Amino acid sequence: MPDRPLLSRRTSLALPGLVALGATAACDVDDLRPPQDDPTPSAAASASPTGAPGGDTAVVEEVVAALDAVLAQLLAARSVPAQRAAVVPLLRAHRRHVEALDATSRATPSPTPVSVEQVRAQELALRGSLVDSAGRAESGALARLLASMAASVDQHLAVLPTGGAR
């Protein structure tokens, strides 16, 4: 089915350069780079033939809510000086994630202290949610964006210190 405009001015603007569907013609290492003259976002997203109308709006709302919940935890974790350096990169990344979905975070710091290990657990749960949402997204463009966010979480978790104190 033809893809509706995803949801987001930002995301729509983002898409033309993201798709890689063309044939790989050259024969060098540059072949690793996806073709840049690919179809429009709607063409890319049309590969997703299933999904209830309006389904992506719900998906985005769920993701924004999940990001907000994690941001609240991160804000609390950041208030502990010893944890600040560890959690700030995640905080920045998730703020950009919310922005990419054309939403505004309303997160305020959780009232209870949050350890780095609790952050890790929250991030793992968020990662699972992002992967699930990417799988459910009707729009291929949204799926790609959510998959990238999940990969971002994986990268940040890979460098997150272990055994952080409260």
Q: Which residue has the tokens 């309303």?
A: 106
Tokens for 71, please give them: 């941001």
Under the binding rule (CB under 8 A), the answer on residue 148 touching another protein is: yes
Residues 103-142 binding another protein (CB under 8 A) are 131, 134-135, 140-141
Tell me the CA end-to-end span of the chain in Å, nearest whole number: 49
What gap in Å lies between CA 129 and CA 123, rounded to an integer?
Answer: 10
Tell me 102's DSSP state.
Answer: T
Tell me 151's DSSP state.
Answer: H
Under the binding rule (CB under 8 A), the answer on residue 23 touching another protein is: yes
What gap in Å lies between CA 45 and CA 37, rounded to an integer?
Answer: 16
Taking the complex as a whole, the smallest distance from the CB of residue 14 to another protein amounts, in Å, to: 4
Residues 62-101 binding another protein (CB under 8 A) are 89, 92-93, 96-97, 100
What gap in Å lies between CA 151 and CA 130, rounded to an integer?
Answer: 9
What gap in Å lies between CA 136 and CA 153, rounded to an integer?
Answer: 19
Helical H segments across the chain, by residue range: 9-14, 41-45, 55-78, 81-100, 116-136, 140-159
Stretch that binds another protein, among 25-33, 58-66, 73-81, 112-120 (CB under 8 A): 25-33
Under the binding rule (CB under 8 A), the answer on residue 143 touching another protein is: yes
Under the binding rule (CB under 8 A), the answer on residue 31 touching another protein is: yes
Per rule CB under 8 A, count of chain residues that contact another protein: 54
Under the binding rule (CB under 8 A), the answer on residue 19 touching another protein is: yes
Residue type for 82, please?
Answer: A
Under the binding rule (CB under 8 A), the answer on residue 18 touching another protein is: yes
Under the binding rule (CB under 8 A), the answer on residue 32 touching another protein is: yes
Taking the complex as a whole, the smallest distance from the CB of residue 89 to another protein amounts, in Å, to: 6
Using CB under 8 A as the criterion, which residues of the chain lie in contact with another protein when the complex forms? 10-11, 14-15, 17-24, 27-35, 38, 44-50, 89, 92-93, 96-97, 100, 131, 134-135, 140-141, 143-145, 147-152, 154-156, 158-159
